[in-house]
Amino acid sequence: MPPEPQNKQLPKRLGKEPLLEAVWELRFAGDVSTGQELPGLLLGKLRADYPGARIELRPLANVPPEFRNSQYQMRYGATHALPCGEFTILTGDNVVAVSMVKPYPGWDTFRKRISTLADWLNKAGVIRKPTAFSIRYVDFFAGSPAETLNLLAAEIRMGEFKPTSGELQLQMGVVLNEFQGSIQVLNPVTLPGGSNPLEKTGMVTDIVVNAALRDPENAWNDIKSNLNPAKEACHRLFFNLLKPETIKSLDPIYGE
């Protein structure tokens, strides 16, 4: 995928929003006691505005902590969830995240929720060494594999072969200035629920931008100052992945 000119105008939002989920995740050097303390601490904060907030155990909570922390695939997994209507906070021994699902309320609302959570964590002093944060956007495009693959601005070939049926799994890493990014495309994917099977099958694009926090003394300030640049990097990756006619079909809005 060729680099996109930095001065190219990108949509501010889409009239036909394909987003399934937006996630902000903070990783830190924690331990079992941190993972045990976070859910109760956050529940107390949440109930002031969300009286129905509750703590739910995730499957990873049943895995012995010594084992899950020795496995990289589990170390940053969530052991608890705190659903609050339009968003959910996830916590683990070494991670805390906030997730918003469809209908996505927009970046301003998402950023405020992230900032509020970061302020709570900073003032509580439970997390002493934040190491990195990431912003992730997962989008879904309904249709057959051949139809949805044609939405991408990509020329995919292995030797003399192309994915003519449209079925593929692709993942690649990219560097965007100070950020590390990744692009994943899964096609086809079947979403659960719904009465029309044609509406459940399609292509998923998964965009992640990671920001390292190298200065523990200024980590919380660095999180705040890098939220907008990291989101803009996600934004650029997503739109650079799509053909111009695909973007046009999503009813792009360029004004504020």
Question: Beta strand pairing status for 87-91 and 252-253?
Answer: unpaired
Task: Confirm whether 246 is domain-assigned.
Answer: yes
Task: Confirm whether 137 is domain-assigned.
Answer: yes
Number of domains making up the chain: 1
pTM of the model: 0.92
For 108-121, how does the pLDDT look when each residue is reduced to its tens digit (9 = 90+)? 999 999 999 999 99
16 token code pair: 């036909």
Task: Confirm whether 55 is domain-assigned.
Answer: no
Task: Confirm whether 231 is domain-assigned.
Answer: yes
Task: Confirm whether 69 is domain-assigned.
Answer: no
Closest to 23 in 3D by CA, of 185, 142, 135: 135
pLDDT band, residue 2 (cuts 50/70/90): very low
Task: Name the residue range of residue 210's domain.
Answer: 16-31+94-253
Residue 4 has pLDDT above 50, yes or no: no
- Residue 1 has a pLDDT of 44
Side chain identity at residue 93, one-letter code = D
DSSP string over 169-232: EEEEEEEETTEEEEEEEEEEEE-S--S-HHHHEEEEEEEEEEEE---GGGHHHHHHHHHHHHHH
- The Cα–Cα gap between 25 and 88 comes to 12
- Residue 128 has a pLDDT of 86
Partnered with residue 180 across adjacent β-strands are: 175, 210
Task: Confirm whether 7 is domain-assigned.
Answer: no
